[in-house]
Amino acid sequence: MKELVEYVARTIATNPEDVKVTEEVEDDGHIIIRLEVHQDDKGKIIGRQGRVAQAMRVLLRVAAIKDDSHVTLEIV
């Protein structure tokens, strides 16, 4: 799932070298994915009215259902 977020973010970002994705697994199996991008790219990653970010979250939710887990995407 980390690779999926990284691929989408690098494709959208103007500065793909500044994209950093970290994955943290909590005790209950909940996965938190943190996406860090260059300050100039935050607007592109979030999208108008949050549509791009919401689409990324939907993709993660679908991938998480296959793994029987719960995923949260945080954009930093």
For the chain, the structural domain boundaries read 2-75
Q: Which residues contact 25 (CB under 8 A, 6 or more apart)?
A: 31, 32
Task: Identify the band that residue 46 occupies on the pLDDT scale cut at 50, 70 and 90.
Answer: very high
Helix (H, G, I), strand (E, B) or coil at 34: strand
User: Residue 62: CA atoms inside 13 Å, Cβ hemisphere, count?
Assistant: 7
pTM of the shown model: 0.88
Check whether domain 2-75 has CATH 3.40.920.10, yes or no: no
pLDDT one-digit tens code per residue, 11-42: 999 999 999 999 999 988 899 999 999 999 99
Q: What percent of the chain has pLDDT over 70?
A: 100
